[in-house]
Structure 1
Amino acid sequence: MKHRSFRFLWMGQAIADCGDIFYIVGLIAILYGQSNSPFVLALVPFVNMMGRFGSGFLSPLLINRFSLKRLLVTSQALKTIVLWLLASYASGATSVTALLSFVFAIAFLDGWAAPASHAMLPRLVPKEELVKANSFFSIVSETVNLGAWAVGGGIVALTTGPFAILLTGTLYLFAIALLAGISDPVKFTLPKRETKAVSELTAGWRLIWKHPLYRTLHILIALEALANVVWIASILYVFVTEVLAKNEAWWGYINTAFFIGMLTGGILCARFASLIESSLQQAILVSSFGISLLTALFGMTAWPWFALVLVGCTGVFQQWKGISIDTCLQKAATAEELPAIYAVQQTIVSILFAAGSLAFGAIAEWAGARFVYMLAAALLALSALCAWRYRRHLQTN
């Protein structure tokens, strides 16, 4: 954990993530002030996910032509330019369509960085420290998520939305400097023979489908991505008001409890890294069944305080499962395979989350919020059963 390049990676990523939240908070303030429409605000995460989907789908073309470090730095540099253009545009008369176009462009550029960052991590630490490194990365990410929204809201309240966006561009400069300091131990080489673009785009998909471990892990990831839609603001808000019969403040409490659970899960995984490292298969199985049960109980409860406890525990189990899956994948895949695998993973998660947001929103309106959480619990139970059915594939040795 004392590796210099690893420090540059997590620090650069943390600053970039913090800037991403400031920019979204500033943009939401601008959009709401202009449109006064909750529907327009709901389009922000949808457009963001579609941008990531497009980038994830096309990123194999870049991964085969440029080093991971170059992709990280270039992505952040281009995002900085777009952010400054957005800040300049947002300071005057604005169009909702134009603002959402900026969201798509930034998400598209960020989509290069996500697979590169995930694939870079196992190159910078020894294999026996992967659980601890993944746990630490998650702790930093959840700490940023927990604090940056409140700080971003305070910045917008004291200044303006365009100022928050301009501040993000400044933070991105620090992130660029840190990411540029990474030393990648795996030397990048261009493919010796030219391949068709279609073959490059489908290589990661074919790799995942042919390898039993990769295929099983991504079935679990896909089902969980779809089920996790129930935690978006629009559905959770309806559950709080209709089922728990509480005001908007409780929506914030539940979000905070979830992030605290995720943070606690990361700390526990780091504390018991050696135990998890030696039992990744069992960790995936137990956490999969645990998340399904907790989500079902959350959907059935009408007690607000019990709901807070359940959602906090859900965060712990989700962190446990996510770290175990990441470590399992990183231990099994080669340095050359990981970027393509993470690109496919981002594509799967983005499209399912975007489509699920619309589908689950419609279902919640038709059948109620409680039904949506029970449906999510069923999807998570299916994920757990798949993990049990194909548990022999969840072996890295």
Structure 2
Amino acid sequence: MKKSLFLNKNFKILWTSQILQTLANTLLTISVMVNVYKQTNSVLDSGAVLALTSLAGFLSNLYAAKYINSFHTLALLRVVGWSRGVLTLILGGLIVTHFTFSFILLLIVLFVLNFIGAWYAPARMSVIPLIVEKKEYIRANGSLSVVNQILLAGLWGGGGILILIISPFAMILLIMGSFFVSGFLIYKIKLPHKDTTLTVKKKAQPLWSSIYKSPILINITIMDFFEALANAIWSSALLLAFTHDVLGKGEDWWGFINASYFIGAILGGLIVVYLSRILEMKMGYIIALSGLSMGLFTFMFSTTSSGILALIFCLLMGPLYQIRDTCQVTVLQDIIKQSELAKVTAARNIILTPWTGVTYLIMGYLGDMLGVKLVFILAAALYCGSAILALSSKTLRNYNIKTVTEQESHSIKA
């Protein structure tokens, strides 16, 4: 634990495992969607893949929030990887045989696969404080985030081409192998013998007890509600409508705008890694100022008719939001007791996951009623409102990684 982050063997193993999980999970989603569409020639059936993934994640978090502390975290991460590998093989058999058994059976296997997979993120988040020194939290989260963004940008951009080049059987083997190796790598993580917080033997407390005890956690969760609603403007439908109606551009510019945000997010992750010492001293202010900047650039984005300026504004938003997101994750890891971290993460997901789905409906409705430009202006106001909430909270505003107020420390870590 005295070593530099990138000389930390445990962290490098977790980092590699995360890469393999993201690779396998994204390729699996793309592959299933494409093959379902080929076999059924139905957009509805293909879209059901994403809907089923979201439903499985929501229901999984309901159970994870209550029971995840009953499992040894590293063992849980291994089982998730290996179980998803086995289920991918079954899913691949159904795809290769062109759903000979049943399309319903394929959806059932897909549901179970994603239900199990939703346990990975909360468990992985709770492992970081065990293998990384507190002063390295923000760099660790930033480096995990940047590689995740690079993979998502590349796979969603080129995954369709990859599926055309590689046979379905070979693709299934690649996905299955990635899941298995991911689980095997977790087996190689070695923790100090004194770390006993991985298994919680005491009676589980109510799901929300750790949230309502913490002013910082309550504020961050409320901010997430505001920002989830604001983030809905970047959905494919609203952004495409903005590109057509406001910018007067076609689908090619819609793709450019999406790509510019991904590039910005990657740059943001790199900034976090290289400026972590500066950011960790004023994380509360960074979270608030990132929100204000997001509001400003979103407003400028919504009022421009220039495609070039829209690209620039979107590019600038990427780093800001990535920095804010990484700082927020770091704050959560620092204020929440490690044995409660996975449970609290899952509990927050129970609230935020369905709310995110509702936000698309709300913003889509407002887009039809008020016009897409006004919806983007509304989103800018929501980002600013989130920032004002952060600034109005003394405990969050003055928060930094090196000091936690006595009240917060008692309420969260006692």
What TM-score do the two structures reach when normalised by structure 1? 0.91
What residue in structure 2 maps to residue 139 of structure 1?
146
- Residue 47 of structure 1 deviates from its aligned partner by 2.7
Q: How does 1:248-287 map to 2 (within 5 A)?
A: 248-287=251-290
Q: Does the C-alpha gap of structure 1 residues 142 and 4 become closer, same or farther in structure 2, counting only changes over 3 Å?
A: same
Indicate yes or no: 2:163 matched with 1:156: yes
2:390 to 369, 376, 387: 387
Give the distance between the partners of 1:190 and 1:279, measured in 2 at CA.
Answer: 33
What residue in structure 1 maps to residue 223 of structure 2?
220
Indicate yes or no: 2:84 matched with 1:79: yes
Q: Secondary structure at the match of 2:122?
A: helix
Indicate yes or no: 2:16 matched with 1:11: yes
Deviates more, 1:23-32 or 1:372-381: 372-381
Indicate yes or no: 2:361 matched with 1:358: yes
Q: How does 1:110-129 map to 2 (within 5 A)?
A: 110-129=117-136
Give the distance between the partners of 1:279 and 1:372, measured in 2 at CA.
Answer: 32
Q: How does 1:10-49 map to 2 (within 5 A)?
A: 10-49=15-54
Deviates more, 1:144-153 or 1:132-141: 144-153
Give the distance between the partners of 1:254 and 1:371, measured in 2 at CA.
Answer: 19
What residue in structure 2 maps to residue 207 of structure 1?
210
Indicate yes or no: 2:331 matched with 1:328: yes
Q: Does the C-alpha gap of structure 1 residues 385 and 8 become closer, same or farther in structure 2, counting only changes over 3 Å?
A: same
Aligned amino acid, residue 196 of structure 2? K
- Paired residues of 1:60 and 1:340 also in contact (CA < 8 A): yes
- Residue 142 of structure 1 deviates from its aligned partner by 1.2
What residue in structure 1 maps to residue 407 of structure 2?
none
What residue in structure 2 maps to residue 61 of structure 1?
66
- Residue 312 of structure 1 deviates from its aligned partner by 1.2
Indicate yes or no: 2:303 matched with 1:294: no
- Cα deviation per residue 1:155-213 (whole Å; 9 max; x = unaligned)? 21223556434421121122111122122443246555545xxxx4x33x221112111
Q: Does the C-alpha gap of structure 1 residues 233 and 96 become closer, same or farther in structure 2, counting only changes over 3 Å?
A: farther
Q: How does 1:96-115 map to 2 (within 5 A)?
A: 97-115=104-122
Give the distance between the partners of 2:340 and 2:293, measured in 1 at CA.
Answer: 30
1:245 to 237, 248, 261: 248
- Paired residues of 1:82 and 1:102 also in contact (CA < 8 A): yes
- Residue 354 of structure 1 deviates from its aligned partner by 2.0
Q: Secondary structure at the match of 1:336?
A: helix
Q: Does the C-alpha gap of structure 1 residues 194 and 331 become closer, same or farther in structure 2, counting only changes over 3 Å?
A: closer
Aligned amino acid, residue 267 of structure 1? L
Give the distance between the partners of 2:107 and 2:390, measured in 1 at CA.
Answer: 38
Give the distance between the partners of 2:31 and 2:242, measured in 1 at CA.
Answer: 27
Q: Secondary structure at the match of 2:70?
A: coil
Gaps of 5+ in 2: 405-414
Q: Does the C-alpha gap of structure 1 residues 191 and 145 become closer, same or farther in structure 2, counting only changes over 3 Å?
A: closer
- Residue 135 of structure 1 deviates from its aligned partner by 1.2
- Residue 38 of structure 1 deviates from its aligned partner by 4.4
- Paired residues of 1:26 and 1:162 also in contact (CA < 8 A): no
What residue in structure 1 maps to residue 412 of structure 2?
none
- Cα deviation per residue 1:319-359 (whole Å; 9 max; x = unaligned)? 11011111222222221221222112322331122222333
Q: Does the C-alpha gap of structure 1 residues 334 and 106 become closer, same or farther in structure 2, counting only changes over 3 Å?
A: same
Deviates more, 1:326-335 or 1:235-244: 235-244
What residue in structure 2 maps to residue 170 of structure 1?
177
Q: Does the C-alpha gap of structure 1 residues 256 and 165 become closer, same or farther in structure 2, counting only changes over 3 Å?
A: farther
Q: Does the C-alpha gap of structure 1 residues 372 and 283 become closer, same or farther in structure 2, counting only changes over 3 Å?
A: same
- Cα deviation per residue 1:359-395 (whole Å; 9 max; x = unaligned)? 3334434444333323322322221121122143443
Give the distance between the partners of 1:80 and 1:72, measured in 2 at CA.
Answer: 13
Aligned amino acid, residue 167 of structure 1? L
Aligned amino acid, residue 231 of structure 2? N
- Paired residues of 2:232 and 2:360 also in contact (CA < 8 A): yes
- Residue 5 of structure 1 deviates from its aligned partner by 0.9
Q: Secondary structure at the match of 1:150?
A: helix
Q: Secondary structure at the match of 1:64?
A: helix
Aligned amino acid, residue 169 of structure 1? M
Gaps of 5+ in 1: none
What TM-score do the two structures reach when normalised by structure 2? 0.87
Q: Secondary structure at the match of 2:118?
A: helix
- Residue 66 of structure 1 deviates from its aligned partner by 0.7
Aligned amino acid, residue 57 of structure 2? R
- Residue 316 of structure 1 deviates from its aligned partner by 0.7
